[in-house]
Amino acid sequence: MKHILDYSCQNVEFYKSFKDYVNIKDFPVINKTVIRENEEKMMTPGFEKGKLFKEMTSGSTGTPLTIYQDKDKRNRARADTIVFSEFAGYKLGTRLYYSRVWNAYNRKSALQSRIQNIVMQESDKLSDADLEKFLSRLENDRSEKSVLIFASSLVALYQYAKRRVKKPDTCIQCFITMSESLPENVRKGVEELFGTVVVSRYSDCECGIIAQQCPGSDEYHINTGSFYVEILKLDSDEAAAEGEMGRIVVTDLFNHAMPLIRYDTGDIGIFSAHSDCGVGSKVLTRVDGRRVDCFYSTKGEMLSPYVINNTMWRFTELRQYQFIQNGKNDYILKLNVQSGAAVRERELLDSVKDYIGDDANIAIMYVDEIPLLASGKRKQVICNYNG
């Protein structure tokens, strides 16, 4: 870390005024807005943008952001992917089903797919017919394989597989979920139904793999080899106490083209200095997604989207859902229901009100589809209320 701090102070215009720093706390916390407004000042002279690797955020919660990475950073990210994938149970070289929205920007050529042994699985449609096609594809492929998938897509696959007449018959090394939090009961259910391990990964486009769950546990091991991770208070840049919910702030130790020091990811989590499994230390006991996805109870308490995710998983009659807060007591719950299924409305509303308050006004709206964001994700919780 000292190397990247010294390097940045010597070479990067944005950081030169911090050359007399004592420790990392002397540097400012930056975010997407700061980077957009100071892009040229945050670039290291001598690197040509045209020869650098570009990583763009999805723009799920705002204007997309471009981060420039040099070759060493890109190689480091690839190494991280290999190490953490093997930690999850994926064997390098075996087949990987990568479930996401594939487009002209990210689609691999036939040669790339073959060399990397990657199967591009579309995740934009989650009807029963689409999910059956996906399951059949996995069952007909008798090779060793793993699945990298959005958490919400795995929830849909699991719910469909439970309703299916026959139990899935496929050899899967592991499921690795990304982008959203996966309810603990769903993780255990998938492991039992498919007879494999399910691991959640916390990563972003700007940095790479920041942390990943330990197999069989819900704690996330921080990638201390590539990042310095801080948890800061929600309302200040002071360090959050161990066990306290806070903002996840990351320093990338390897990107020399565009150093990111104390970058506020926009995500929130809880830190622990000790791991339950005894492997290393510095774990996140919770990763609850983006702060802007948090919402409020009728008493004004900030709640994690995890609350809704953990409430909704057991309502198997639902294909998809989206929870929206528009006012202090006003909420909308959009439901995409299985064909012919009856929704347990009263039970559902009571379960949600247990967390947000009995005086909540929750309007149920039935829809045919929850629209995709540009990132390919489906936002399950939206807060239009500022608290």
CB atoms within 10 A of CB 42: 23
Low-confidence ranges of the chain (pLDDT < 70): 58-64, 281, 289-293, 304, 306, 310, 372-378, 387
Strands in 361-366's sheet, in edge-to-edge order, are 361-366, 330-337, 318-325, 381-383
Category of 58 on φ-ψ map: left (φ > 0), alpha (ψ -120 to 50) or beta: alpha
12 to each of 50, 146, 264, how far by Cα in Å?
Answer: 19, 41, 19
Angle at Cα 236 formed by Cα 233 and Cα 240, nearest 5°?
A: 20
Cα–Cα distance for residue pair 366/303, rounded to 1 Å: 24
CB atoms within 10 A of CB 260: 21
Q: What is the pTM of this model?
A: 0.78
Per-residue pLDDT, 62: 47
Strands in 95-100's sheet, in edge-to-edge order, are 118-122, 95-100, 145-150, 172-178, 197-204, 208-213, 220-222, 281-290, 263-274, 245-252, 227-232
Q: Smallest Cα–Cα separation from 252: which of 265, 241, 242, 240?
A: 265
Cα–Cα distance for residue pair 117/120, rounded to 1 Å: 10
What is the distance in angstroms between the CA of the first residue and the CA of the last residue of the chain?
A: 37
Q: 151-163 and 128-140 are packed helices; what angle lies between their axes, rounded to 10 degrees?
A: 90
Per-residue pLDDT, 286: 86
Q: Record the tokens describing residue 185, joined without a space.
A: 């009961």
| pLDDT tens figures, 345-379 | 999 999 999 889 999 999 999 998 887 665 556 67
Q: Record the tokens describing residue 168, joined without a space.
A: 């899935």
23-27 own/partner pairs: CB under 8 Å, 24+ apart: 24/228, 24/251, 24/261, 24/262, 27/261, 27/262
